[in-house]
Amino acid sequence: MILTIDVGNTQLLGGLFKDDNLILQFRRITSLGTSSDELGIFLRSAIRENGYDPFEVSEIVCCSVVPSLNHSLGSACLKYFKKEAFFVQTGIKTGLKIRYNNPKDVGADRIANAIGGISLYPNRDLIIIDLGTATTFDAITFDRNYLGGAIAPGLKMSMLALETGTAKLPSVEIICPEKSCGSSTIEAIQSGLFNGHIGLIKEFIQRFESECFNGRKPVVLGTGGFSRLFESTGLFTEIQPNLVLLGLKKALELNT
């Protein structure tokens, strides 16, 4: 079995693959300063408590946007699984031509998403929209040029900015509101967050089609924790919440 681990700013997302099937996924809050023992015990327990044997894990692949946790994570994999983790980072084989001015600046999670995207839709233009802590947009051409993209505050980050930056606006549940014109402060915030993001997504899809693909219609993949919230909007060709985990597995295959 292959253990895949995505360390994000808000959550650690884990996945367990057997052959080509994702048989388990699990999450925990990302906490700065987490020790290798805490991570190792959590990972092994998450696998065991879901009915799988952690000692059947043959390979581990990770991506992380929290560099301070990388050493602890690598040590946890060695101590608790007796495996050296493979980290997706600059210089590995990706199957992509990175057209960023400085390829080292591209987040490992964005690269993993792109690898996952081209594995699902080879020879197609792609826009990948990851709705997580940040909302990221990535453009990949049919011939596997990773052109770059855009980064915007995510839904929760935007909500927290309203809560902490104002005197009276409350924290709200992030949902798909029934109407755009809210009849309470909570409904108004929910509408602003959700419908504002719809506008953001539509605008970037339109601009990328023109700037990156010469008007060609790309496949638009939605992923990340909030992607299912937008499933009924018709904005996406497909929702793939676990795209980063698939990309990690494919990255490992490319480098072994």
| pLDDT tens sequence for the chain (256 residues) | 999 999 999 999 999 999 899 999 999 999 888 999 999 999 999 999 999 999 999 999 999 999 999 999 999 999 999 999 999 988 899 999 999 999 989 999 999 999 999 999 999 999 999 999 999 999 999 999 999 999 999 999 999 999 999 999 999 999 999 999 999 999 999 999 999 999 999 999 999 999 999 989 999 999 999 999 999 999 999 999 999 999 999 999 999 8
Looking at the chain, the domain(s) classified CATH 3.30.420.40 span 2-87, 124-241
Distance from CA of residue 117 to its chain's centroid? 12
3-state secondary structure of 140: strand
Structural element, H or E, at residue 238:
strand 238-239
3-state SS class at 145: strand
Residue 166, pLDDT score: 95
Angle between helices 243-254 and 108-120 (to 10 degrees): 90
Question: Rounded distance, CA 16 to CA 249, Å?
Answer: 10
What gap in Å lies between CA 211 and CA 61, rounded to an integer?
Answer: 34
Which pLDDT value is given to residue 90?
83
Residue 215 is predicted with a pLDDT of 87
Both tokens assigned to 184:
């309470």
- At residue 96, φ and ψ (nearest 5 deg) are -115, 155
Instruction: Give me the CATH topology for the region 124-241.
Output: Nucleotidyltransferase; domain 5 (3.30.420)
2-87 has CATH 3.30.420.40 classification: yes
Enter the pTM of the model. Answer: 0.94
| Residue 97, phi then psi, degrees to nearest 5 | -105, 105
Q: In terms of DSSP H, where are the helices of the chain?
A: 36-49, 70-81, 108-120, 155-165, 185-212, 243-254
Question: Burial of 42 by CB count in 10 Å (0-12 exposed, 13-18 middle, 19+ buried)?
Answer: middle
Residue 130's SS3 state is strand
Residue of 19, 20, 37, 109 marked catalytic = 109
Q: Does residue 109 have an active-site annotation?
A: yes
User: What's the rounded Cα separation, in Å, for the pair 197 and 141?
Assistant: 24
Q: According to the model, what pLDDT value does residue 32 have?
A: 86
